[in-house]
Every structure is written in C-alpha cells, then in structure tokens.
Amino acid sequence: MRLSFVQPRPELQPYIESFWVFESPVGMPVTDSSMAAPNGCPKLIIPCENSLVSSADGRTQVSQEGGLYFVGNRDTQTIIHSSTRKTGFVVIEFSPHGAYPFFGIPMEETVNGLFDAETVFGKWGREVRETLRNLEVVDRKVNFIEDQLIALMRKTPRRNTLIDFCVGALRSSRGRVAIGELERRTGYSRRYLDMLFNRHVGLSPKALAGIFRFQTFYRKWARGLPYDALKEDLYEYYYDQAHFTKEFKKMTGYSPRKFILEVSNEFGRRLSLK
C-alpha cells in the first residue's frame, strides 16, 4: 500500500486540507479494517483502477472504477475495501468549509452521503467524469481536476469571512471553544451560526468541534501511543472518560481500548500521519 501526497496549486491551498493518491497491488482487503474516520473534510474521490466498496451506517455502496464521487462531511466511520487486484484512487479532501465555495450546494444535503458527481453537480460532474475516464495517467488526472476546480473558483467565488473565522477558532482550539464563546466573539446568535455552518460545512459548530476533539486523540493513536498515554490530557477535551468513550465509539464503532488493541487500520494510520 502506498499513499502519495500532492501539493495543491497555490490558488487551491486555502480550500484543500489534503490531496493524495492511493496505490496497492492487492487492493484493500476486508481483513485490514481499512477505516476512514471522521476528520471534518468533504471529499472528491476518483477511482482510477478497481472499484471501492464502502460501508457506513448500515449501508454499502460501490464507487465504480472510472467514476467521480463526492462524499459529504461525516460524523461516523466508513469501512473501505475492494477486490484483491491492483487498485488506485485519487482523493481531494477539502477543508471543513472548503467545498462550498466551489460547488455552491448546501452542504447539509450531503452529510454522511456518498454521491455520483453527476447527481450533485449536474453537467459539470458528468463532463469532468468523462474526461477523467479518458485520461490514462494519474498525473494528468490530477492536473485536470485542479484545472477544473480553479475554473469553478474563479467563476463563482463564495468565501465567507465569518465561517472562516469560526472554523479557524474551532480548529486552533482543537474543538475546545464553546459555541457561546463563538457567539460572543462574532456577535451572531447560535441559531444564525448553526444555519451558516449547515450551509457551508454540513455540520453544526458543536458537531465539528467534536470531530476536532476526536482527531486529537486519533492522531495520538496513529503515532503509536498506548491507551494510558492517550488518556493523559483527556479531561482538557472531555467532561469525563464516559463522554470520551461515547464520542470515540461514535467516530470509530469501537471503544478506545478495543480499537487500540484489536483494530488493524494501517490505511487510517497513514492518513492521520500525513
């Protein structure tokens, strides 16, 4: 398994969290428990070789080779696998509010969903998918999708300084800024901030804060910290251990101890260490 990270072009960097290419000669076996845990990032996925099977919230979907798919923000885990043959796909992970400026669709309509690009983007999704399908080299696919995103950005700029500030505050505090504090700092009501987040992020400020808190501990797991070390600063982020366990289980499907001791997730580990 190989993950290669792409440096987005300067115009795209404010909107893109991570841009990477996955390659494996044997696919993603079910036994590896390859998990994409919530990270606050909506995604574009381009399956180049082989199809991907994703299971989330009791639903299984197939992303077909040669397709183009959009994944909305998630607050639960997704298990990914494929048939055991050569597999490759490209993923663009937008920042939590980074997809809306390009596509202009209400992000709350895509939460916890996986969609064919034509379904959510219409003509643009269909035309981009067809061109990508006819480009045989991965580097050419990467260059083409960047061209298309830059063209969208220049055509319909939709940046919002208020959402930039609020997401930045939640991220820099690792989810520890209370929503009341966001109200105080911005002068806007909780109801208005919830509406703004639903449109631009798809999740409420509270839900996004929970993902940022979870990611603090998930990255510690990825670095190989044992369970006891992982708990050292637990109470800076959660009310108590029961609260932490509940949130962690929602994001991964496992209790923290069971996840650390029993789950093989090299795919998720490498993504978290990017």
Segment 147-199, tens digit of pLDDT? 999 999 988 778 899 999 999 999 999 999 999 999 999 999 999 999 999 99
Q: First CA to last CA across the chain, in angstroms?
A: 15
pTM for the model: 0.93
Q: Confirm if 132 and 90 have CB atoms less than 8 A apart.
A: no
Residue type, 76: T
Q: Is the dihedral of CA 228, 236, 208, 3 positive or negative?
A: negative
The average pLDDT across 206-221 equals: 92
Indicate whether 257 pLDDT > 70. Answer: yes
pLDDT of 31 reads 64
pLDDT of 69 reads 98
Q: Facing residues of 2 across strands?
A: 23
For 120, the 3-state DSSP assignment is helix
The average pLDDT across 17-29 equals: 91
Burial 196-230 (b: 16+ CB within 10 A, else e): bbbbbbbbbbebbbbbbbbbebbebbbeeeeeeeb
> At how many degrees (to 10) do helices 190-200 and 205-222 cross?
60
Indicate whether 100 pLDDT > 70. Answer: yes
Query: What structural domains does the chain harbor?
Result: 2-155 (2.60.120.10), 161-272 (1.10.10)
Q: Confirm if 94 and 145 have CB atoms less than 8 A apart.
A: no
pLDDT of 228 reads 78
Q: What separation in angstroms does the CA of 30 have from each of 52, 125, 263?
A: 11, 30, 12
* Burial bucket for residue 85 (CB in 10 Å: 0-12, 13-18, 19+): exposed
The average pLDDT across 64-69 equals: 97
Burial 55-72 (b: 16+ CB within 10 A, else e): ebeeeeeebebebbbbbb
Q: What separation in angstroms does the CA of 136 have from each of 4, 35, 66, 131, 139?
A: 18, 28, 10, 10, 9
226: DSSP letter: -
Q: Confirm if 207 and 107 have CB atoms less than 8 A apart.
A: no
Tell me how long the chain is. 274
More confident residue, 214 or 262: 214
Q: Confirm if 196 and 163 have CB atoms less than 8 A apart.
A: yes
